[in-house]
């Protein structure tokens, strides 16, 4: 059995990855959760996955706990998905963002050097590292992040190069563009919109406040992207990859399609709140994922329209909206 450690196990990506590895049948999965989160939510994990995996206590801001986690799990593969991942919050909690997203991975790799130096490591990088460089963005594009989140992720991304080149660790960085699902946290835009549509359809809400409707993003399905993570760790030599769809849609398009599912015009229910605008925003992100296709044999399987429909219909069913139960 291959032993895999997933940090950030209870999040969207961690839960999809845990389900994905369990389905392969030859993995023993360890999921890291924070010690202070004694009531951590496992709602994102399927019942079958919960029963077959092992939870271990650790924190990305505590190097000693990371050492203990690796000593316990003795992983063959490490997927570092833990992060402070809500970009707007990174301005309000810049120091914590740097601690978790930049220094945390370094502490993890330092521990891996001594405990499991042959382990293959996946580092979750992000399209936010590109900032406002011209689209499409690929592995060779300049990186000029426009948020504390992007800066912290870029620091870890560069340090991964250092640990790979200096110490010979097998570290790959997946530069993932926006990827969504019904497992997204409720503070993220796409989930917030899907929830609002369901509440409006139920008659429990009259509207929703949003920020910049003009920002363009490359949105894919999270379930597709964990497959790319796994493929990266099966290579003979570590390489970094951009993962996305190559298609760009504005926030406004997402909102319009979401409300159309319940037959309503979003302009009657959505209003812009200046307080939700980012101090500095990234205008357009669009992935050039040709390397992932050519080297990994990976490609996205789901469309933008499918993703919006899946997310909204999930919330409509949960809310018990008539006709969607």
* Catalytic residue of the set 126, 190, 245, 248: 126
Other beta carbons within 10 angstroms of residue 279's beta carbon come to 9
Separation of alpha carbons 219 and 285, rounded Å: 9
Which of 43, 50, 44, 41 minimizes the C-alpha distance to 22? 50
Of 27, 149, 225, 266, catalytic = 149
Q: Please give the backbone phi and psi of residue 213, each rounded to the nearest 5 degrees, phi first.
A: -80, -10
* 128 classed as catalytic: yes
Reply yes or no on whether the pLDDT at 312 is more than 80. Answer: yes
Note the pLDDT tens digit of each residue in 185-214: 998 999 999 999 999 999 999 999 999 999
**Residue 325: per-residue pLDDT:** 65
pLDDT for res 38:
47
Q: Which of 293, 224, 270, 172 is nearest to 17 (CA)?
A: 224
Q: For the chain, give the percent of residues with pLDDT over 90.
A: 85
What integer is the mean pLDDT of 157-164?
98
- Residue 111 CA neighbour count, 13 Å, CB half: 26
pLDDT band at 41 (very low <50, low <70, confident <90, very high): low
User: Average pLDDT over the chain, rounded to whole?
Assistant: 94
The Cα 315–Cα 311 span in angstroms is 7
How far, in Å, CA of 212 to CA of 284, rounded?
A: 12
Positive or negative: CA dihedral 196, 125, 297, 23: negative
DSSP 262-296: TT--GGGTEEE-GGGS-SS---B--B--HHIIIII
149 is a catalytic site residue: yes
pLDDT digits (tens, 9 = 90+) for 260-277: 999 999 999 999 888 888
Q: Is 79 a catalytic residue?
A: no
Model-wide pTM > 0.75? yes
Is the pLDDT at 243 greater than 90? The verdict is: yes
| pLDDT for residue 116 | 98
pLDDT of residue 267: 95
Structural domains in the chain, sorted by start:
2-179+220-243 (3.40.50.720), 185-217+247-285+303-319 (3.90.25.10)
Least Cα distance to 255 among 266, 263, 269 occurs for 266
* 40 pLDDT higher than 70: no
> What's the rounded mean pLDDT across residues 19-27?
96
- Residue 35: its pLDDT value, please? 75
Cα separation, 189 vs 86, whole angstroms: 10
CB-CB contact of 266 with 114 (8 Å): no
**DSSP secondary-structure letter at 102?**
I
Active-site residue among 77, 128, 180, 315?
128
> For residue 37, is pLDDT > 80?
no
What integer pLDDT is reported at residue 69 of this predicted model?
97
Q: Are residues 137 and 89 in contact, defined by beta-carbon separation less than 8 angstroms?
A: no
- Checking if the pLDDT of 7 tops 50, the result is yes
Burial of 250 (0-12, 13-18, 19+ CB in 10 A): middle
């Amino acid at each position: 059995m291959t032993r895999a450690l997933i940090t950030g196990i209870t999040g969207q990506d961690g839960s999809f990855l845990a389900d994905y590895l369990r389905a392969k049948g030859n993995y023993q999965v360890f999921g890291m959760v924070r010690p202070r989160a004694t009531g951590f939510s496992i709602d994102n994990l399927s019942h079958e996955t919960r029963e077959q995996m092992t939870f271990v206590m650790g924190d990305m801001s505590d190097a000693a706990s990371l050492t203990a986690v690796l000593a316990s799990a003795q992983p063959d593969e490490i997927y570092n998905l833990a992060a402070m991942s809500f970009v707007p919050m990174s301005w309000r909690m810049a120091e914590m963002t740097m601690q978790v997203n930049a220094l945390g991975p370094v502490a993890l790799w330092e521990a891996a050097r001594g405990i499991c130096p042959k382990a293959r490591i996946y580092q979750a990088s992000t399209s936010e590292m590109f900032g406002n460089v011209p689209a499409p963005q690929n592995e060779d594009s300049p990186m000029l992040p426009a948020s504390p989140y992007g800066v912290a992720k870029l620091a870890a991304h560069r340090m991964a190069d250092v640990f790979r080149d200096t110490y010979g660790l097998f570290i790959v960085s997946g530069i993932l563009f926006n990827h969504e699902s019904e497992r997204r946290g409720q503070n993220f835009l796409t989930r917030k919109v899907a929830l609002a549509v369901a509440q409006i359809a139920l008659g429990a809400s009259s509207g929703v406040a949003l920020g910049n409707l003009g920002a363009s993003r490359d949105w894919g399905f999270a379930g597709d992207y964990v497959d790319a993570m796994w493929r990266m760790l099966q290579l003979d030599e570590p390489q970094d990859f951009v993962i996305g769809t190559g298609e760009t849609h504005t926030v406004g398009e997402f909102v319009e399609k979401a409300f159309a599912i319940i037959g309503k015009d979003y302009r009657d229910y959505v209003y812009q709140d200046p307080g939700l605008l980012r101090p500095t925003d990234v205008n357009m992100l669009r992935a050039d994922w040709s390397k992932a296709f050519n080297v990994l044999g990976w490609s996205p399987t789901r469309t933008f329209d499918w993703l919006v429909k899946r997310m909204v219909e999930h919330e409509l069913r949960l809310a018990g909206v008539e006709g969607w139960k």
